[in-house]
Amino acid sequence: MIYLGRITAEVGTAAFDHQYWEIVSGKSSVSKTSWASLIDEMMQTDKWANYSPRYRADLEEVFEYLVGKIGKADVARLTQADIYDAMDKNRHRVRFANYIPTAISMLSKLAIRKRWRKDNPATDIEQLKVPKDRQKPHLPWTDEAVKKMREEGQPLPLLIFEIGVGSVQRPGDWVDFQWGDYDGDTLKLRQNKTGKALQLPCTKALKTALDRAKSDLGFSPHPSRHILTRSDGSAMSYHTMARVMVKERKRLGLMAFDQHALRYRGVMELAWAGCTDDEIASYSGHTSKKMIIKYAGEARQVMRARQAAAKRKSQKTEPAQNEKLIPEVIPQ
């Protein structure tokens, strides 16, 4: 339900009639305690400034939706049922739908502090679950897919690709890398999700890609210039990067392998190199070893199978076709 305001005048007065017809005609002025006003104030806070660019981008998408739907409404009028209604209307995009109560909860806490409402309607909201037919695990990039990208990939998506595999970080961190974070041998960052500071020795492929990108600029970039940029030199957003990668994966026929799975490819390469789970975690920054165990375990199984196959292939003699492998029991 969209509220356009509330009548504050006494019933039967001219002021009441005026406010009533403004609401009915859709001409009511924005409430001083509206969601649009609250969102404006939220985006001026230090708390908002301290959120990661990726998290702010996700929330801003919901904020735009809220302004379009209930921007003029009084903050105090929203109920938990209204939130569930909004989520149900957006169940075709589950991730977005589940961000609605997150955004409203954040805004409601500010509203309580400002005495615009007394409670948080988003408390204990149940998240929507992704339907089973839409639950697809990230498929790690195969050797063939990696080879195709490296041989046929265009410069920008190839740079994104090498940052993903070489840094073994989440996609949301890739867009934050600046030239000042690269010293010619290592990349440094502070993870958006965990706040953990990491120093990452570059793989040969990543170093080559970074050096090429730096050379292609034709000038020495300022340390604060982002490594991944738009054509005008401005910092590339997460969503822009995602679109670049989708377009390139479609062109190369690699849609089965998404950009999130590049992190898992990096984990697998570390496992193939003989790294322990602890060593991989020190590189990837994983706080839980669950995903490391999953993908490193798969990589180690592949590695052992290949080793076994090599030993089998190198076997010099094989039993003759008619040779019995199990000796007969000699009767007593």
**Which tens digits make up the pLDDT trace of 127-177?**
988 776 565 667 889 999 999 999 999 999 999 999 999 999 999 899 999
Q: What are phi and psi of 177, to 5 degrees?
A: -60, 130
Mean confidence (pLDDT) of the chain: 86
Which of 258-272, 274-288, 308-322 ranks highest by mean pLDDT? 258-272
Provide the pLDDT for residue 175: 93
Once rounded to an integer, what is the mean pLDDT over residues 164-191? Answer: 94
User: Hunting for tokens 């639950």 — which residue is that?
Assistant: 135
Q: Report the C-alpha gap between 291 and 284 in whole angstroms.
A: 11
Give the tens place of pLDDT for each residue, 92-135: 888 899 999 999 999 999 999 999 999 999 999 999 887 765 65
Q: Report the C-alpha gap between 16 and 10 in whole angstroms.
A: 6
Once rounded to an integer, what is the mean pLDDT over residues 217-237? Answer: 93
Nearest to 61, CA basis, from 102, 4, 122: 102
Residues 6+ apart with CB under 8 A from 266: 164, 165, 166, 167, 168, 284
Q: Which domains does the chain have, with CATH numbers?
A: 14-128 (1.10.150.130), 143-312 (1.10.443.10)
pLDDT at 91 over 80: yes
Provide the pLDDT for residue 4: 42
Once rounded to an integer, what is the mean pLDDT over residues 291-307? Answer: 83
Q: Report the C-alpha gap between 267 and 149 in whole angstroms.
A: 18
pLDDT at 316 over 60: yes
Going by DSSP bridges, is the β-strand pair 197-201/186-190 parallel, antiparallel, or unpaired?
Answer: antiparallel
8 Å CB contact between 296 and 271:
yes
Alpha helix (H) residue ranges in the chain:
14-25, 35-42, 46-49, 53-70, 80-89, 94-113, 143-152, 155-167, 171-174, 204-217, 238-252, 261-272, 277-284, 290-314
User: Hunting for tokens 């080793």 — which residue is that?
Assistant: 307
Provide the pLDDT for residue 319: 58
Partners of 189 in beta bridges: 198
Q: Report the C-alpha gap between 139 and 145 in whole angstroms.
A: 11
Q: How far is CA 204 from the centre of its chain?
A: 26
Q: What single DSSP character describes residue 72?
A: T
Q: Report the C-alpha gap between 128 and 68 in whole angstroms.
A: 22
pLDDT at 76 over 90: yes
Provide the pLDDT for residue 14: 66
Give the tens place of pLDDT for each residue, 17-54: 666 666 555 555 556 899 999 999 999 999 998 887 77
Model-level pTM? 0.64
Q: Report the C-alpha gap between 236 and 174 in whole angstroms.
A: 10
